[in-house]
Amino acid sequence: MAPGRYELLEHTADLWLRLRGPTPEDIFANAGWALFNLLTGRETTSGSVADVAEIEAADYDELLVHYLNELLYRFETRRTIFSEFRFEELTPQRLRVKLFGERIAPATFVGRFDIKSATYHELRFQRTADGYEASIILDI
């Protein structure tokens, strides 16, 4: 795990993440990176695949859940992992992000955690004295 990107908090059955960063973009980039790091154990990708995600929601909390679930959907359906996230737009109600990663071969892929979804349980996205902090539980 790269220091400062995310922290795993103690949880009995699922993965509870704490994310910190100076901007909302950092929180969302760290969340995406953490998701794929937890799924695969990898910290980088080749960047040979580029994609775009656009998501709308009521607020940052809901946007974070929808964003991570969209990334999981792309992992499950396209066997694509991402390690770089460039935000073109990020407001509490909308994001547009360029994703850079690679496709993985299912026959050679050995997963680290089998993550089913991002949940609303214990979800928190807030401004702090140092920037922003979010916590989210991933269902495994």
How confident is the model over 72-118, as pLDDT tens digits?
999 999 999 999 999 999 999 999 999 999 999 876 667 788 999 99
More confident residue, 40 or 31: 31
What CATH code is carried by the domain that includes residue 83? 3.55.10.10
**Residue 55 domain flag:** yes
- CA–CA distances in Å: residue 23 to residues 17, 32, 120, 122: 17, 15, 21, 21
* pLDDT per residue as tens digits for the range 4-26: 677 766 766 799 999 999 999 99
Domain residues for the domain of 81 are 7-139
pTM score > 0.85 for this model?
A: yes
Number of domains in the chain: 1
Q: Please report whether residue 2 resides in a domain.
A: no
Nearest alpha carbon to residue 116 among 72, 75, 64: 72
Residue (of 65, 64, 63, 97) closest to 83 by Cα position: 97
